[in-house]
C-alpha cells in the first residue's frame, strides 16, 4: 500500500485524482511550503538553473526577494514546471502509464531550487525517495532473506522504473524479460567470485527453453524485489544436489507440475520417466534423506536436450561438472557413464 500520509503532505497542487480506487484530494499551494525552501549552498549537491540565475520571479510573485521570501508561486506547481519542461509534461500525457505523483506534483520528489541529491531530488538516495511512499516494497525488502542487489544498490529502483511515465506496465523502462536478460548477460564474476549464468548466451545456445522462459516470464519463478527463498525464488526449492523428499520442498515446481510424478514406486500413467512401470522419478528423487533434486537431471532455464535434461550436473561444493550423456529414444532414453554405468529406460516396456 501507498503511505498516504507522507504522500498527502507532499502534495501541493489543488485537485483530485483517483488512483487504484483511492481518491486523493490535494491541498492548495498558496500557503507556502517551508520544506521546499532553498537549502544553504553548502548543503546542495544539485541546483536548478533558474534558481542559480537568481530568477525567483520566473516562479514566484515577486522577482527580487528583499527578505529571502519571494512570495507565493505564480501558478499551480505542475503547470509551472510544464512551462519549461514540456518534454516531461508531454511524456506524462502521451505515455500509457503515468506515475500518480508526477501528474499531481513535481515537488513530491523535486525541490525547485536545489537539493541534497542529484537531479534536484528531495532525498539524497533515490531509493529512499521511492520507499518513502512505497511502504509495501520497503517491507518486502526489509523482510527478504535474499535481496536483489539491482533493487538496493546504486540507481536502485531507477534501474528498472521510470519515475515519470512509461509505455510499459508498472512504469518499467523495458519489458521485464529484456530488463532481466540485459543485466544478466555477463561473464564477469560477481562479488563472491561466483560466475552467474550469461542469459543471452544460454538462451541462444540452448534450443529447449523451459515453458515460462519461452513465455518470457522470469517472474513466474523469481521475485524481483526480494524473496524468502534462495535465488529470489517465489517458492521453496532445494538449494543442493541432495535433499530429503517432501513435496513442500518442491513447491516451486509443483506450482505448475504434478507432484504425483514422484509419488509412487510403480506407475504406468503419472510419468514417462519410467522403465515399464518402475518409476525412475520416484527412484531418484523420493528418498527420506538423500534424494536427488530435480537439478541432478533438469536445467531450469534452457537446455541442449529435450525435457530440459542437462548436459552436465554441478556436483559437490566446488561445482565439478559431471556429464549426464543423455540420449533420447522414441520411447525413453539412456544416461551413459554418469552417476552410474549406462542405464536405459523404456516406458512402453510391459
Q: Please identify which residue in 13, 44, 59, 313 interacts with ligand HEC, judged by CB under 6 A.
A: 59
- Interaction of residue 148 with ligand HEC, rule CB under 6 A: yes
Alpha carbons within 13 angstroms on the beta-carbon side of residue 226 total 18
Measured distance CA(318)–CA(231) in Å, rounded: 18
Chain positions 329 to 348 lying near ligand HEC, rule: CB under 6 A, are 332-333
Give the Cα separation of 14 and 75 in Å (integer): 11
Query: From CA 106, how far away is CA 78, in angstroms rounded?
Result: 6
Show contacts with ligand HEC in window 184-203 (CB under 6 A): 184, 190, 196-197, 199
Q: Does 282 bind ligand HEC (CB under 6 A)?
A: no
Strands (E), the chain: 15-19, 22-26, 46-47, 97-98, 114-115, 165-166, 208-209, 242-243, 274-275, 278-279, 291-292, 302-303, 312-315, 320-323, 326-329, 332-335, 343-346
CA–CA dist 138, 271 (Å, integer): 43
One residue of 27, 159, 325, 334 binding ligand HEC per CB under 6 A: 159
- Nearest-approach distance from CB 350 to ligand HEC, in angstroms: 17
Closest CA to 116 of 43, 188, 58: 43
Which residue has 504406468 as its cell numbers?
Answer: 268
Judged by CB under 6 A, which of 26, 114, 308, 338 binds ligand HEC? 308
Q: Does 209 bind ligand HEC (CB under 6 A)?
A: no
Count the residues of the shown chain that bind ligand HEC, applying the rule CB under 6 A. 134
Q: Does 163 bind ligand HEC (CB under 6 A)?
A: yes
Sequence-ordered alpha helix ranges (H) in the chain: 4-10, 49-52, 77-84, 86-94, 100-104, 126-133, 135-143, 149-152, 176-183, 199-205, 211-214, 251-254, 280-285
Per-residue mark of binding to ligand HEC, 251-270 (x: CB under 6 A): -xx-xxx---xx--------
CB of 277 to ligand HEC, least distance (A): 14
Q: Could you tell me the smallest distance in angstroms from the CB atom of residue 16 to ligand HEC?
A: 13
Rounded to a whole number of angstroms, the minimum distance from the CB of residue 270 to ligand HEC is 7
CA dihedral 73, 78, 82, 83 (to 10 degrees): -20
Q: Nine-digit cell at 314?
A: 554441478
Residue selected from 13, 98, 144, 181 as contacting ligand HEC according to rule CB under 6 A = 181
C-beta of 327: minimal distance to ligand HEC in Å? 10
Q: Is 120 in the site for ligand HEC (CB under 6 A)?
A: yes
Applying the rule CB under 6 A, the residues between 210 and 239 that interact with ligand HEC are 210-213, 218-222, 224-225, 230-233, 237
Q: Which of residues 65-94 bind ligand HEC (CB under 6 A)?
A: 65, 68-70, 72-73, 77-78, 80-81, 83-85, 88, 92
Q: Does 126 bind ligand HEC (CB under 6 A)?
A: yes
Among 165, 176, 267, 310, binds ligand HEC (CB under 6 A): 176
Residue with Cβ nearer ligand HEC (26 or 156): 156
Q: Take residue 235 and report the three cell numbers written for it.
A: 517458492
Amino acid at each position: 500500500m501507498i503511505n498516504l500520509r507522507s504522500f498527502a503532505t507532499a502534495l501541493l497542487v489543488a485537485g483530485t485524482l483517483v488512483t487504484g480506487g483511492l481518491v486523493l484530494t490535494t491541498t492548495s499551494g498558496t500557503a507556502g511550503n517551508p520544506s521546499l525552501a532553498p537549502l544553504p549552498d553548502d548543503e546542495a549537491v544539485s541546483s536548478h538553473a533558474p534558481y542559480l540565475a537568481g530568477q525567483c520571479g520566473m516562479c514566484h510573485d515577486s522577482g527580487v526577494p528583499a527578505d529571502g521570501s519571494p512570495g507565493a508561486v505564480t501558478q499551480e506547481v505542475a503547470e509551472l514546471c510544464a512551462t519549461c519542461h514540456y518534454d516531461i509534461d508531454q511524456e506524462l500525457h502521451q505515455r500509457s502509464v503515468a506515475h500518480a505523483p508526477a501528474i499531481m506534483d513535481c515537488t513530491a520528489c523535486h525541490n525547485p531550487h536545489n537539493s541534497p541529491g542529484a537531479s534536484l531530488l528531495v532525498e539524497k538516495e533515490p531509493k529512499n525517495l521511492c520507499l518513502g511512499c512505497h511502504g509495501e516494497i520497503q517491507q518486502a525488502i526489509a523482510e527478504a532473506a535474499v535481496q536483489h542487489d539491482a533493487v538496493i544498490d546504486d540507481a536502485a529502483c531507477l534501474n528498472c522504473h521510470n519515475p515519470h511515465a512509461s509505455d510499459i506496465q508498472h512504469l518499467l523502462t523495458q519489458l521485464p524479460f529484456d530488463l532481466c536478460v540485459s543485466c544478466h548477460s555477463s561473464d564477469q564474476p560477481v562479488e563472491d567470485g561466483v560466475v552467474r549464468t550469461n542469459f543471452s548466451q544460454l538462451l541462444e545456445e540452448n534450443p529447449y527453453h523451459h515453458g515460462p522462459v519461452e513465455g518470457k516470464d522470469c517472474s513466474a519463478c523469481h521475485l524481483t524485489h526480494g524473496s524468502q527463498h534462495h535465488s529470489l525464488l517465489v517458492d521453496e526449492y532445494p538449494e543442493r544436489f541432495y535433499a530429503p523428499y517432501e513435496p513442500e520442498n518442491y513447491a516451486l515446481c509443483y506450482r505448475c507440475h504434478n507432484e504425483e510424478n514422484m509419488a509412487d514406486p510403480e506407475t504406468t500413467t503419472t510419468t514417462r520417466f519410467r522403465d515399464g512401470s518402475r518409476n525412475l522419478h520416484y527412484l531418484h528423487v523420493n528418498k527420506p534423506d538423500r534424494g536427488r533434486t530435480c537439478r541432478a537431471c533438469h536445467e531450469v532455464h534452457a537446455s541442449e536436450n529435450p525435457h530440459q535434461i542437462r548436459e552436465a550436473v554441478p556436483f559437490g561444493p566446488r561445482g565439478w561438472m559431471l556429464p549426464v550423456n543423455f540420449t533420447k529414444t522414441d520411447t525413453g532414453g539412456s544416461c551413459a557413464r554418469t552417476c552410474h554405468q549406462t542405464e536405459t529406460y523404456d516406458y512402453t516396456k510391459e
